[in-house]
Structure 1
Amino acid sequence: MTGITTLPQEIISLVADYLDRRDRLRLARTCRMLYHSLIAQLWKKVYIQSNFPHFDFSLHGKRVDIPPDRPIITNTRLEEHAPFVQHLSFHGPFHPKYYAIVFPQLHTLGLYLDTSFHTPCDDTQATFNHALDMSMRAEQHRRRAELIRLNPTIKEIRIQTCEPQPTADFWDAISTTLNHPTRLYVAGLNRIEGETLNSFWKACNLFEEIYCWANNMDFTSLLSQLSFPRLRRISLQSPAKFQMGFCTEEQLAWFQQCPYLTKLHWTFDSYRFPSNKFAEALEQGTWQRLEDLSLDNLNQRDDALAATLAHLPALCCFRLRSSGFGHLTFAILRARLFDTIKVLDLTGILSFTSRMALEVLQECVHLEDFNGVIINAQEIDIEQRPWVCLGLKRLATIIAVDTEASSRKAFEALSKLSKLESLDLGTDVLDVWKLSDIVPESTYHLPWNLEHGLGRLSTLTKLRTVSLLGTIQELVTDEDVEWTAENLPALEEVEGRFSLDTDRQEKLAGILGRRGVLYFDIGRHRTEIY
């Protein structure tokens, strides 16, 4: 019988692609031949956390020294395997030798330096050690510029920074070294100005995609002189408690310099939004290739919001956060987007009614991903016509029911979605205290229960994730959880809380775990930059 070690290298590599890093490592340890066959996969992605001493500031403001307890890859070992590394992430400060390594195939570089790393000190040394911390971080920025200059193959850079900010030399290293980079993700920019700001924009001029999470950045005269010939995708946002240093009109002026944009995700100060100029830009067809648009905090009245969006292009993806959404704006979406939209996210817009949601699901023939607010099961009509586009892959909305019959009706409707991969019935996207504003008091969340019709979901053979976060699932039994694990063959993750009793929670988690399904009873925060 032929063993795995006799297979061609290409087949072994293909098998390894289906394994996570831990399983690959276990496989490689079984014999020397497999180790040499899998070494490229094992070192393809390298994530290194610094063993530099740091403090935890989460304990009521007290400084608690946390000793380094994680293994770290030495710079010698990293350099030895550098030819295999394609994705490299440094989290924290490192010795200069780590930044002097050449990685011939390096494609993605992550540089994370945040405020959780500090020089050990007591309160009497705080002032001195703060200065020492600042000096250490400034030195890290200089070393990281050297690393970039040594590796011109980098296409994607992910940066999380803090005070002091990277200097002009760091951004110059990007703009003078990299050949046609594609993506720049940067978080933590704050109060950069002068030559540093100019160098930052020169670096941005090279990329196809920019994700920027920043505050207090000035708009410089240099910016208007750049053409951004390769820029296709922009995501610009600032923390809610801050305001961008340059106003939304200047941000819009930057976007208008990028006529080839296919993606624009924009979070802004709603009180300063230049609605007339933005509407004019849409009417003039400034971004004729735009496919993906996200607007956050666009809090206008319904009539003004409808006027702002009156000339939306034929988008594939649209996300809106607005307190002024109403029937006039919905009419604009119907006229402009229903024929082309694939992803529609109106999460948290309480005025987006159940009937509006059902109209979207019925009429948007290309819809694959829908994030709404609520669907009233009583309003679903599965007798007259298909209640939803059958190509739907991801659905996130509360389904409100008031009787056992309406629960069965909801599960029957969901059973029609044979291509569904993700189902989110939780209230995680909605302020649950406002739920009573949009549904009668007699309604409740769809119960994940066989007696109420859960068994109908056996048709969802592609369903991978289920979220019930924030819902009350006190009717769930052992049999319901066992059925879930056994009859949804593609299921990988379940989120939610089936019981307030800790022991029972563990028991139900065990039922899923034995079937290879991950179970989470609390929400997990995901973000692109980290």
Structure 2
Amino acid sequence: MTTVLDLPDEIRLLIGKELPKKSIYSLIRVCRSFYSSFIPCIWSDLSISYPKESTVVTADQVRLNAHRIESITFSTTLTQYYYAIAYPRLHTLRMMAFYRDEKDNNHLQVQLQGKIDFLKRHPFLRKLNYQQKDTLSREFWEVVATALVQLEDLMFTGVVEQDTVDAFWRACERVKNLHLSDVTLRSNSMPILLTLSFRQLRDLAIITFPWQEDQPRQMWPVQLLERAKDSENLKRLEWSIGDVAFPVQLVLDAFEENCWRELCELSIGGEACSDQEVAAVLRSLTSRRLTVFELWSGRFGPLTYNCLKEMYFGHLRDLRLSQAPGATSSMVQEIMTECVHLVSLEAPYILVRSIATASKSWGCLKLEKLAVYFASQVDDEAGWDGRAFQQIARLKRMRTLDLTRDPHGPSLYDDEVRRSQDILDMQTLDLRLPSSRMTLDSSNNGDGGDIRGWSSLLQLREFSFDGDRQWMGVDELKWMIEHWRDLKCISGDFRAASGIASGDRLKQLLVQHGIMHYEDI
């Protein structure tokens, strides 16, 4: 009989990529064969910062295992010793600035020339993510544009000075996946070089936020999108810009000119983006396929919804509507019923009434991520909550379940509810076990259901609940740990864990099982 010991290293490595680090650590302690097979999984993707604690990986340890490292994250507090090491298999470099780094005395201790030399020694990098806050020189961008011969992905956050603008755009022009997040160009009046075509682009993301009032409005995103019309293989476009309206007419003209024939993933929005404009963009999509759609602001109205329903319900895999007002409970219910290929859904809310009174069950049984607030009304019938629990229990592929409200989102109203009643003020699913309900408020379980109905969600890894309305304590946490063996992160305040003893026990359980916990802010 074949066992895991008989499998070749190639198969063991595939298994190791699906295992949590804690399980891998346990395996490599079992036997020498497991050690040789799984130790590369520990080192393949490494994140390191300035060594202050004994648990931090030292430069000598990194040098010893450098041949195993394929992806690495360099903090701004990292010393020059790590930059002097050669990583023969390195294909992904992330140079990040974390919040805690900015308060460190060793912040940005490596000089820019050291970073440039590091790039020169690793010409086969395929992915570069730069988010450190030092000012980059022309030489840096020239190295990115010419020395990194296999570069495909470039992600950048920061400021581009006037004398480096041309070199910066040359570097951007040669990659396939370009993500520019909160980028400021000092010479906004200078257009992008006419010799640059951006023909290789497959994924373009422009994410910015409103600049200070004393700075001119940045218009380079519009220039870049205009130039990207020549990108024949563009499949994904994200436009998330705070102070420049989404250029609807530019996009419609591009579709009219038969550009972007492969485009099938859209993330767009803007305060001035109307329901009519969004619907016009979706109806003009050249590819006639839409697998991913996000409306991060603007209006999600009946025109946009009907367009999705008529043309794309059979294609959608990822739909994000949580930030755009206008998505009603009946819309979300129909989406979950008819979009059978959905893998991820983010929506503002759904009424328990919509679920309980529907004639059909949810068809989105492939869902791996669901982020939606389940709103209960005071006049809901007994047992309706139980039907909502049952529908969620059928989503057995679920990895991320987020049941929280968005306190910073717009006021959301449903046509089925009085206009003056705020959805965000409604109650939600009661997740408590029967014993907790009797202890806290003497209410009976009835037919409403509880968290026990979700024992089928065996793949759940991230769980978020509304700490203000979904009170839970130690008993519920113990149940989660027992049934959701892959759980890695919980977000929500365990308000029912009152008292020092209960709080200590809760923290002990979380630490013991390696579960990260984020309380509501």
The letter for the 1-side match of 2:114 is R
Q: For residues 316 and 177 of structure 1, do their structure 2 counterparts lie closer, same or farther at Cα, with a shift above 3 Å needed?
A: same
Contact 1:46 1:87 in 2 (8 A): yes
What is the TM-score when the length of structure 2 is the normalising length?
0.80
In structure 1, the partner of 2:228 is: 255
Structure 1 residue 423: Cα displacement: 1.9
Alignment equivalent of 1:227, drawn from 190, 197, 200: 197
Contact 1:113 1:161 in 2 (8 A): yes
Alignment equivalent of 2:165, drawn from 180, 192, 197: 197
In structure 2, the partner of 1:45 is: 45
Indicate the SS of the match to 1:265: strand
Q: For residues 71 and 441 of structure 1, do their structure 2 counterparts lie closer, same or farther at Cα, with a shift above 3 Å needed?
A: closer
In structure 2, the partner of 1:297 is: 270
Contact 1:298 1:321 in 2 (8 A): no
In structure 1, the partner of 2:352 is: 377
In structure 2, the partner of 1:141 is: 112
Shifted more, 144-153 versus 334-343: the winner is 334-343
Indicate the SS of the match to 2:72: strand
Alignment equivalent of 1:417, drawn from 369, 381, 395: 395
C-alpha distance in structure 2 between counterparts of 1:440 and 1:48, whole Å = 44
Contact 1:248 1:269 in 2 (8 A): no
In structure 2, the partner of 1:157 is: 128
In structure 1, the partner of 2:305 is: 330
In structure 1, the partner of 2:247 is: 274
Shifted more, 177-186 versus 89-98: the winner is 89-98
Alignment equivalent of 2:495, drawn from 493, 499, 509: 499
The percent of aligned pairs where both chains have the same amino acid is: 24
* 1:407 has 2:385 as partner: yes
Equivalent residues in 2 for 1:88-107, closer than 5 Å:
88-92=72-76, 96-107=80-91
C-alpha distance in structure 1 between counterparts of 2:467 and 2:272, whole Å = 26
Contact 1:219 1:250 in 2 (8 A): no
C-alpha distance in structure 2 between counterparts of 1:88 and 1:330, whole Å = 42
Q: Cα deviation per residue 1:321-349 (whole Å; 9 max; x = unaligned)?
A: 23433222222222332121111000122
Equivalent residues in 2 for 1:176-215, closer than 5 Å:
176-187=146-157, 189-194=158-163, 196-215=164-183
C-alpha distance in structure 2 between counterparts of 1:506 and 1:376, whole Å = 36
Alignment equivalent of 1:460, drawn from 443, 457, 462: 457
Contact 2:462 2:490 in 1 (8 A): yes
C-alpha distance in structure 2 between counterparts of 1:171 and 1:191, whole Å = 10
* 1:447 has 2:417 as partner: no
Structure 1 residue 297: Cα displacement: 2.2
Contact 2:493 2:519 in 1 (8 A): yes
Indicate the SS of the match to 1:180: coil
C-alpha distance in structure 1 between counterparts of 2:305 and 2:15, whole Å = 48
Structure 1 residue 209: Cα displacement: 0.9
C-alpha distance in structure 1 between counterparts of 2:263 and 2:274, whole Å = 25
Q: CA RMSD in A?
A: 3.8
Q: For residues 478 and 12 of structure 1, do their structure 2 counterparts lie closer, same or farther at Cα, with a shift above 3 Å needed?
A: closer
Contact 1:100 1:150 in 2 (8 A): no
Contact 1:427 1:471 in 2 (8 A): no
Q: Cα deviation per residue 1:341-378 (whole Å; 9 max; x = unaligned)?
A: 11100012232110111121122232221111111111
Indicate the SS of the match to 1:444: coil
Indicate the SS of the match to 2:305: helix
Q: For residues 180 and 244 of structure 1, do their structure 2 counterparts lie closer, same or farther at Cα, with a shift above 3 Å needed?
A: farther
Gaps of 5+ in 1: 52-67, 122-132, 525-530
In structure 1, the partner of 2:279 is: 306
What is the TM-score when the length of structure 1 is the normalising length?
0.79
Indicate the SS of the match to 1:299: coil
In structure 2, the partner of 1:170 is: 140
Indicate the SS of the match to 1:264: strand
Contact 1:350 1:438 in 2 (8 A): no
Shifted more, 88-97 versus 354-363: the winner is 88-97
Q: Cα deviation per residue 1:229-257 (whole Å; 9 max; x = unaligned)?
A: 43211111113445762254313213323
Q: Cα deviation per residue 1:26-78 (whole Å; 9 max; x = unaligned)?
A: 77678989766666444433333125xxxxxxxxxxxxxxxx44666555554
Contact 2:136 2:160 in 1 (8 A): no
* 1:486 has 2:482 as partner: yes
Q: For residues 285 and 30 of structure 1, do their structure 2 counterparts lie closer, same or farther at Cα, with a shift above 3 Å needed?
A: same
Q: For residues 364 and 30 of structure 1, do their structure 2 counterparts lie closer, same or farther at Cα, with a shift above 3 Å needed?
A: closer
Structure 1 residue 513: Cα displacement: 6.4
C-alpha distance in structure 2 between counterparts of 1:30 and 1:176, whole Å = 47
C-alpha distance in structure 1 between counterparts of 2:424 and 2:40, whole Å = 59
C-alpha distance in structure 1 between counterparts of 2:18 and 2:296, whole Å = 38
Q: Cα deviation per residue 1:1-44 (whole Å; 9 max; x = unaligned)?
A: xx999997668766765665566567767898976666644443
In structure 2, the partner of 1:359 is: 334
Contact 1:215 1:245 in 2 (8 A): no
The letter for the 1-side match of 2:198 is F
Structure 1 residue 271: Cα displacement: 5.2
Contact 1:210 1:234 in 2 (8 A): yes
Structure 1 residue 393: Cα displacement: 2.6
C-alpha distance in structure 2 between counterparts of 1:389 and 1:4, whole Å = 34
Contact 1:213 1:238 in 2 (8 A): yes
Structure 1 residue 428: Cα displacement: 3.9
The letter for the 2-side match of 1:497 is D
In structure 2, the partner of 1:393 is: 368
Contact 1:482 1:512 in 2 (8 A): no
The alignment covers a number of residue pairs equal to 488
